[in-house]
Amino acid sequence: MKLLLVEDDRSIADTLVEGLTAAGHTVTHVATGAGALAEHGYELVLLDLGLPDMDGRDVCRELRKRSATPIIMLTARSEEFDRVLGLELGADDYVTKPFSLRELVARIRAVSRRAVDGQPGSGDASGPQSIGPMELDRRTRRVRIGGDEIALTAKEFDLLAFLANDVGAVHTRTEILESVWDAHWYGPTKTVDAHVASLRKKLGDHAWIESVRGVGFRLEPPS
Ligand code: CA
């Protein structure tokens, strides 16, 4: 993935460029807000909140005006970053320094996955997705089975849409939590099981969502 790293601290930037490159990303590094606004052609932004020339919040707002490219804010613990404000500015997520490379890579993956899910064109433009007798419409967030509409809660729909991204593939509880729930949510994976149970009940046939013992769940039309 092509990343734009906006970070004025040279040692943090060097470490991130090295680590993210090793993780398979292509990283363009700039040290100022003005530098960030001059860049093009990246797929995700890692944006330091405290920059020498501009407030990271203003940079975030400006970037968001231009495109829907995902933004992850990098904040120092002392900066008391307001998560709600950050999200209002259009940031998709944030990590607090010091963070591990592993944590950042996981956030990048979760945020980019959510961005793809929400993008027009990932199945939306081409209309509803058909899975056996099920019709799943991401644009209208409607699900029909054999023509009958199934009333789902927002989370049940998100869970179903996530599983439907790769029909037949097994998704682990952790993957499901990361994608369907907030990236900061580290609660018990029982939540996933509870939502799978209610979703199965509404779909009318438990066979729609198969439990793969010790691994996770997969979506498949009942045979
Ligand atoms: Ca800084």
Residues 137, 87, single domain; the answer is no
Q: Is 11 exposed, middle or buried (0-12, 13-18, 19+ CB in 10 A)?
A: exposed
ω into residue 52 within 30 of 0, thus cis? no
Centroid of ligand 1 to alpha carbon of 56 (angstroms): 9
Centroid of ligand 1 to alpha carbon of 178 (angstroms): 27
Centroid of ligand 1 to alpha carbon of 113 (angstroms): 27
Which CATH number covers residue 141? Answer: 1.10.10.10
What is the DSSP code (8-state) at residue 206?
Answer: G
Ion ligand 1 contact residues with beta carbon within 5 A: 8, 48, 50
Identify the domain containing residue 34 by its residue range. 2-117
Q: How far apart are CA 173 and CA 190, in angstroms?
A: 9
The answer to whether the Cα torsion of 38, 42, 44, 46 is positive or negative is negative
Provide mean pLDDT across the span 107-124. Answer: 65
Over residues 17-72, the pLDDT tens digits come to: 999 999 999 999 999 999 999 999 899 999 998 899 999 989 998 998 888 788 99
Q: What is the CA radius of gyration of the chain?
A: 20
Centroid of ligand 1 to alpha carbon of 109 (angstroms): 23
Residues 85, 162, single domain; the answer is no
Centroid of ligand 1 to alpha carbon of 24 (angstroms): 25
**Domain-terminating residue out of 117, 145, 175:** 117
For residue 120, the model assigns a pLDDT of: 45
How many domains does one find in the chain? 2
Residue-level length of the chain: 223
Centroid of ligand 1 to alpha carbon of 62 (angstroms): 18
**Domain-terminating residue out of 90, 117, 144:** 117
Q: How far apart are CA 15 and CA 18, in angstroms?
A: 5
Over residues 174-221, the pLDDT tens digits come to: 888 877 876 555 556 677 888 899 999 999 999 999 999 888 999 999
Helix axes 190-203, 154-164, angle to 10 degrees: 90
Write the CA distances from 144 to 89, 119, 135, integer angstroms. 35, 21, 5
Cβ neighbours of 111 (radius 10 Å): 20
Centroid of ligand 1 to alpha carbon of 116 (angstroms): 29
